[in-house]
Amino acid sequence: MSEHTAAIIWQRANADFLNGRYSRAHQWVFDGGVAVPASSSPQVVPEPYSIGANVDPEEAFVASIASCHMLWFLSFAMKARFIVDRYEDSAVGTMATNEDGRLWVATVTLLPRVSYSDGRGPSLNEEDALHHAAHDACFIANSVRTKIVVQSALYREGMAAYKEGNRIYHNAMHKLSDLLFIDVLALLKT
């Protein structure tokens, strides 16, 4: 099995540590040498003690799930002979309070939009199967209890069309029932 490392480096400088007036800014340094500026979320620790431009642990958690899912999706799409030109995701993590009253990232919703070469992409069911396979294979998804929801662009477009179709159907049924009601009233008057 493999092992993965990250160095987390923080330094107090001259901050008033005991009164909580210290910066939460720090660095994540990875084995390849990349250093990522990190901080607590400004939603948890207000600025200036956190730095909103830096990556916070909650964002990194969401990104790690989305990234792992994407990498597996690309692998399965390649095996299914679909040429992916672009993959973009605007993943969202939602915090909630658990049964013990503790905050946690309860749900991560992946919103991938995939573009395929020459317009030859999978059907809605085929893309859904690729996303299911990617979710099942993702090491990160298999390591957390957070609920992970995948709503691909094809799924979202299909749901929008379905909802629009339902709206049109219901409007037509209301008009039809109004017409039938008027006809029944006309019959009752005669």
- For 120-176, write each residue's pLDDT tens digit: 889 989 999 999 999 999 999 999 999 999 998 765 565 555 455 555 555 555 565
Residue 88 pLDDT > 80: yes
Question: What's at 124, amino acid-wise?
Answer: L
What mean pLDDT do residues 3-20 have? 94
pTM value is 0.80
**If residue 188 lies in a helix (H) or strand (E), which one and from where to where?**
helix 153-189
pLDDT of residue 153: 78
Phi, psi for 160 (deg, rounded to 5): -65, -45
What mean pLDDT do residues 49-70 have? 97
Residue 178 pLDDT > 80: no
What mean pLDDT do residues 181-186 have? 57
Q: Where are the domains of the chain?
A: 1-55, 56-151, 156-190
Cα-based distances in Å from 68 to 72, 122, 163: 6, 21, 31
Neighbours of 73 (CB within 10 A): 26
Question: What's at 19, amino acid-wise?
Answer: N
Phi, psi for 175 (deg, rounded to 5): -65, -40
End-to-end CA distance of the chain: 85
Higher pLDDT, 118 or 8: 8
What mean pLDDT do residues 66-89 have? 97
Q: Which CATH class is domain 56-151?
A: alpha beta
pLDDT of residue 119: 76
